[in-house]
Chains A and B, each alone.
Chain A
Amino acid sequence: MKIDNQDIIRTARQLRDEENAELHVSPWSRHRHFHVPTWLVAIPAAAIIGFVLGLWTQANTNSDTPLTALVDTVYIKVPTPQPQQDTVAQAMTVTPTPAVTKPSPRQTVRTTSASAPSRKTVGRPVADDHIRYDLLVRN
């Protein structure tokens, strides 16, 4: 068909109405709209997400480390024969028992090389200087 000015005007108005109908129009507000730029939100958000992800992955790495790496000393319990049980009466009275008993090698506690070897005594605690520190009374 032959196109004249009226055809063009009519079609232009039809296009206008189609485009206007698709618009989202916000309600009237006396205050100026404030639009935060996208980059102003995206950059801090990316930084925070990266930080949180970093913490999370670091936490996962730590959980994989062996337990022995977290402690200085490993204590190993050596099975020993059950010592004779002192009765309550024996415990209450001081008997002239030898102040120092030589512990058997099997009754020692093995420690790491970092700490000095110490002896574990069976019976009443007696120091190396033969003083019964447990009987001393504090004034």
Chain B
Amino acid sequence: MLFPLKLSAQTDEQLMLRAARGSDRAFEELYNRHARRLQGFFVRRLGDDADLAADFMHDTFLRLYAAREKYHEGNSFRAWLYTIAYNLCKNHHRNQLSIVRDDEKDIPAEADIEVQLDETILHDALREVLKSLPEPYAMLFSLHYEEELTIPQIAQITDLPEGTVKSRLHKTMNIIKRQLKQYENR
């Protein structure tokens, strides 16, 4: 298979294939593309600990580099990257991600909560709400809405059925709206 010469013009999967065949420059290009975003993901998921997030991000890429030869053509690079990242978070939280808290179980999946907020208030309020969002909802929200991974990819990463991912994402939106409603009269 022939690759175009310019690395920046290649897709993640093409670069990963080149890295799997021994190109360190291709792997460095992948790092440059995704490091900042992955570090941001860790910052949000590890409670604003910037140093720990930087370590986890670097650790993720080290694991990816060590396993680069196992990459198979056609697999999604981002799904693989975030699978490693998710597992690091999961180990850090000691399996907290898979536990649904009892007080969250009674959240109605179909609730339609109306929130009236000014846009500037929404910005600050959402920042607070997302920080206080319980696991595993925060992780799913982050993977789907912030990191823009698809539901099948999230199902593969978290090892959950797609239906569970969908219903939990719906619940996540309801939790967020319910908490945002508290900012209506401020």
Contact = CB atoms under 8 A, between A and B. Distances in A.
Contact of B115 (A2, A15, A35): A2
A26 B54 contact: yes
A12 B39 contact: no
B177 interface: yes
Nearest to A12: B145
A25 B35 contact: yes
Nearest to B27: A28
B130 A15 contact: yes
Given A1-B118, A3-B122, A33 B55 contact: yes
A1 B117 contact: yes
A134 B55 CA distance: 88
Interface string A1-38: 11101011101111110011001111011101101000
Contacts of B24: 30
A33 B126 contact: no
B36 A11 contact: no
B43 A23 contact: yes
Given A8-B173, A16-B40, A19-B44, A2 B126 contact: no
Contact of B146 (A13, A25, A28): A13
A9 B118 CA distance: 15
Contacts of A14: 123
Contacts of A7: 119, 122
A11 B126 contact: yes
A88 to B, nearest CB: 90
Given A12-B145, A12-B146, A20 B37 contact: yes
A3 B115 contact: yes
A69 B136 CA distance: 78
Interface stretch (B2-10, B58-66, B70-78): B58-66
Contact of A2 (B36, B55, B114): B114
Given A13-B145, A23-B43, A8 B28 contact: no
13 contacts: A1-B117, A3-B115, A8-B126, A12-B126, A13-B145, A16-B40, A20-B36, A20-B39, A23-B39, A23-B50, A25-B36, A25-B39, A33-B55
Listed from nearest, the 8 A-B pairs whose CB atoms lie closest are: A20-B40, A28-B31, A3-B115, A16-B146, A25-B36, A28-B28, A25-B35, A11-B126
Interface of A: 1-3, 5, 7-9, 11-16, 19-20, 23-26, 28-30, 32-33, 35
